[in-house]
Homo-oligomer: A and B are copies of this chain.
Amino acid sequence: MTPCVHKVQYYETDQMQIVHHSNYIRWFEEARSHLMDEIGYGYHRMETDGIIIPVLSVHADYKGMVRYGETVEIEANIKAFTGVKMVISYVVRDILSREVRTVGESKHAFLNKETYRPLSLKRKHKDLFTLFQNLHLEYIDEGDK
């Protein structure tokens, strides 16, 4: 899979002359969206299929500042997956130095787009269930190495 690369934009900076901390939350979403494009099941298609994955909680730990002129890589992994809920973890690295700038996590539920009710991927969307489960297993395998 190709990494999610983000070039820092001027409009993302604040008067401390660093990227405003709220933008990392947006970058996490960018990496989520990128991940789904990479597995061939874009978030856009998921919404068309009647599934939404709202964010239940989000967390970010800022390790170092990111500035305009820099480019980062945002890695997203499926840390936990039950078919009903999912935890995604993120690592934001400077693309040149590979230094970690921010790590984070987001929790999600799979909901029916019309009813906003929980949805079991395993029963309703088997293909998507398998895709997420495989991503999750890959992540666990890598951790074991």
Contacts and interface: CB of A to CB of B under 8 A. Distances in A.
A49 to B, nearest CB: 13
Q: Which 4 A-B pairs have the closest CB atoms?
A: A44-B69, A13-B15, A22-B25, A15-B17
Nearest to A55: B21
A54 B15 CA distance: 12
Interface of A: 9-11, 13-18, 20-23, 25-26, 29-30, 33, 42-45, 47, 52, 54-62, 65, 68-69
Contacts of A69: 42-45
Contact of A21 (B18, B25, B44, B52): B25
Q: Summarize A's interface: helix, strand, loop or mixed.
A: mixed
A54 B16 contact: yes
A55 B11 CA distance: 13
Number of copies: 4
A59 B62 contact: no
A26 B15 contact: no
Nearest to A69: B44
Given A57-B61, A58-B58, 11 more contacts: A11-B22, A13-B14, A15-B15, A15-B47, A15-B68, A22-B29, A45-B69, A56-B61, A57-B62, A58-B60, A59-B60
B62 A21 contact: no
A50 to B, nearest CB: 13
23 contacts: A9-B26, A9-B30, A10-B20, A10-B33, A14-B15, A15-B17, A15-B47, A15-B68, A16-B52, A16-B54, A21-B25, A21-B54, A21-B58, A22-B25, A22-B29, A25-B58, A42-B69, A43-B69, A54-B65, A55-B62, A57-B60, A57-B61, A58-B58
